[in-house]
A and B are shown apart, each in its own frame.
Chain A
Amino acid sequence: MNPLTFIARRLGAAVVILVILVAAMFTLSHLSHTDPAHAYLGAGASKSAVAAERAKLGLNLPITTQFFHYVGNFLHGNLGVSYRTRNPVTQDLAEYLPATMELAFYALLLALLLGLMLGVASAGHWRGARILKFVMVSGASAPLFLLALLGILIFYGHLGWLPASGRTSMPNPPTGPTGFLTLDALLAGRFNMLINALEHLLMPATVLAIGPAVSIGRVLRGSLVTVLREDYIRTARSKGLRERAVLLRHALRNSVGPALSMTGLQAGLLLAGDVVVEQVFAWPGIGYYAAQSIPVGDFPAISGVTLVLGLGYVLINALVDILQRLADPRVRI
């Protein structure tokens, strides 16, 4: 099997997972405690109006037919209409998604960098390693909203260094072409805007990144400690290489694999955490949209968000797998 076949297979598996996800959402929409017809028409709707609405929504059709309609709609980008905003969910998502993508991107990047540093630093036998281990356990034990609340309390409330909500506090933010405010500001040459956007990103991205960073760091530490006991590390040392060369050239390369897999897994936690963080920081992304939808039981909106986040998660993991397979000479042809 050549690498292209592997990539094709891995992407095929991702598609299967997505189909399962869609089926799960369909099932959940039927288990939902809110009746769509009631939700759209409001509490005071007459019985006949509800019946007519049910027919219009296709809720009287056989369940399999409904499922195929659901899948068909999904493929056409039709995710239903939000009970709350009365907009098509797709339209709402399109509006909120770029903010989330930007936040998640920076958070994941930060998590990787932080995780790498934590892993390497805590694998050594220096004096701070114990304290670092303590800090890492703390980081892994802190609920996201505690970090967010403390961050706001200290850096916004007391020190006034960082903003506490939104993507930007400047007028007329650029609206395209990428949807990433930082990138768009850069493309438009508005450096003030860029700084402002980064200031707004810093706290939510860091809060979001800490948990995954600790997990990545712990896994990296574990595999580094194991790899550093390997015979080929002893060989490298017997050659008289400097300790740094041993670590960077021989140890790290062989220990990033598990850390990379962990990054893929942590992406799921990061995306779920995104809903919490966006709510606390009033970040106008799909997490915020979902958090607003939860109290009113707006299931089409929630399932739309779930599908989009699920897609992101599945793609990230497929990417991680493919990268790993291609990077390992032992499984290469």
Chain B
Amino acid sequence: MAMAEPFVTRQQSQFRGPSAKHHLPVSLQTRLREGNRPAWYAGSLLAVLTGLAVFGPALAPHSPLVPAGAAFTPPGHAGFLLGSDSIGRDELSRVLYGIQTSWFSALAVIASGVLLGGLIGLVAGATGGWVDEVLMRFTDAFLALPGPVLAIAVVAALGPSLFHTLIAVGIVWWPFYARIVRGEVRSLAARPHLEAARLSGASRWSIMTRHLLPGALPAIVVTASLDVGNLILALAGLSFLGLGAPAPAPELGAMAARNLSYLLQSWWVPIMPALAIFLLAFASNIAGDFLRDSLRNT
């Protein structure tokens, strides 16, 4: 592909010589540096929470199930940092165990929602036509049902247990992801870069995995991370209604519910687990916000 002499326009000379590198906009490095800072915060926060959930039980000073002292000891007394409950069990130990359950339950539901919903959304969005129509009608029917209310009925029917709770919430949670992924894929599919890839001779598989999915990924990650907080709250609500693990298990929602009657005498017994849920949800919401900011900048 040699160039005939008359065709060398002045334009090309720009890239010859030492200044060629200089002409590539420098914004990339700057953007990465600035854009990644919130992502860094988000990652650390999520790592700390996961660490707490993994190592929490190991840090617990007492057994979560066996009484360790006097009942209704206020926080900070007799070695009970968060006080003790109605039969003298250590609130702190129970809360640490509860955090583990809460956190991993939320992650499990999110993961299943992202996988199932993401797959349906991706297939619907990338295929289009009647496949899209059928899959999305199916998804919409699920979305039109009052998910949280339905979840209560599902666990009530299957019988209260943590596993059933996860199934029930999983059933009502995925359509949301199917919608998001499908919407994201559709909007990407409308961009000319997909048509250009098709004309370039890229295969269907390559278009789906290389030209489509990476574009939808950021939105999925952000949505999922912003959703962790919601799920922690939803699961806690079901647990509060007595739909989680049965009695002695240290589940945060159930701990608050079973000690409602002690509120005015020993406020810490129902409040401490509720506060733990709040902190967990708050931290994951902040992490989600950071993650969203990090992607907005790039």
* Direct contact between A and B judged by beta carbons closer than 8 A: yes
Is there a chain B Cβ closer than 8 Å to A247's Cβ? no
Given A142-B278, A143-B277, A149-B256: A17 and B141 interface contact (C-beta under 8 Å): yes
CB distance from B56 to the nearest CB of A (A): 19
Q: Does B257 make an interface contact (CB < 8 A)?
A: yes
Segment of A65-73, A170-178, A187-195, A295-303 in the binding face: A295-303
Question: B146, A141: Cβ atoms under 8 Å?
Answer: no
Q: Does A12 contact B (CB under 8 A)?
A: no
Is B263 interfacial (CB 8 A cutoff)?
yes
Which A residues are in CB contact (< 8 Å) with B271?
146, 149-150, 153
Inter-chain contact B278/A146, CB cutoff 8 Å: yes
A 14-38 to B, binary, CB cutoff 8 A, 1 in contact else 0: 0011001100110011011100000
The answer to whether the Cβ of B221 comes within 8 Å of any Cβ in the partner chain is: no
With A152-B263, A275-B241 already in contact, the answer to whether A137 and B289 are too (CB < 8 A) is yes
A204 CB, nearest partner CB in chain B, Å = 14
- Please classify how large the interface on chain A is, using the bins under 10, 10 to 19, 20 to 34, 35 or more: 35 or more
Give the size range of B's interface with the partner.
35 or more
Produce 1/0 per residue, A61-95, CB < 8 A to B: 00000000000000000000000000000000000
Within the complex, the shortest CB–CB distance from B1 to chain A, in Å, comes to 45
Q: Are B148 and A153 in contact (CB under 8 A)?
A: no
- Would you call B278 and A143 a contact (CB within 8 A)? yes
- Taking CB atoms, residues of chain B closer than 8 Å to A306 are 149-150, 152-153
Quick one: given A146-B271, A157-B264, A306-B152, are A313 and B146 in contact (CB under 8 Å)? yes
Chain A residues closer than 8 Å to B285, beta-carbon distance: 137, 140-141
Over the window 259-298 of chain B, the binary record of Cβ atoms lying under 8 Å from chain A Cβ atoms (1 yes, 0 no) is 0100110010011001101100110011001000000000
A28 — which chain B residues lie within 8 A by C-beta?
153-154, 157
On whether the beta carbons of A294 and B242 are closer than 8 Å, the reply is yes
Interface residues of B in 100-157 (CB under 8 A from A): 141, 144-154, 156-157
* Cα A145 to Cα B254 with chains together (Å): 11
**Most chain B beta-carbon neighbours within 10 Å: one of A13, A29, A153, A268:** A268
Q: Are B146 and A271 in contact (CB under 8 A)?
A: yes
Whether A141 pairs with B278 at a CB distance below 8 angstroms is: yes
- The reply on A269 being an interface residue by CB < 8 A is yes
* CB-based contact A297/B156 at 8 Å: yes
Q: How far is the CA of A143 from the CA of B230 in the complex (A)?
A: 9
Partner of A290, one of B152, B274, B286: B152
Q: How far is the CB of A74 from chain B (nearest CB, A)?
A: 15
Contact of B241 among A20, A32, A149, A294 (CB under 8 A): A294
Taking CB atoms, residues of chain B closer than 8 Å to A294 are: 152, 156, 160, 241-243
Known: A25-B153, A28-B153, A157-B263. A269 touches B281 (CB 8 A): no
Q: Which of B157, B260, B282, B289 contacts A33 (CB 8 A)?
A: B157
B253 and A272 contacting across the interface, CB-CB below 8 Å: no
Which residues of A are found within 8 Å of B242, using beta-carbon distances?
A: 294-295
| 6 closest residue pairs by CB, A with B | A272-B148, A146-B274, A313-B146, A141-B281, A141-B282, A28-B157
List 10 A–B pairs whose Cβ atoms lie within 8 Å, in order of A's numbering: A16-B141, A21-B145, A32-B158, A138-B278, A141-B285, A142-B278, A145-B274, A146-B274, A268-B146, A313-B149
Which residues of B does A touch, CB under 8 Å? 141, 144-154, 156-160, 229, 233, 236-237, 240-243, 253, 256-257, 260, 263-264, 267, 270-271, 274-275, 277-278, 281-282, 285-286, 289
Beyond the given A31-B158, A145-B236, please list 11 additional residue pairs across the A-B interface where CB-CB is below 8 A: A24-B145, A138-B278, A138-B282, A144-B237, A145-B253, A145-B256, A146-B274, A149-B267, A294-B152, A294-B243, A310-B150
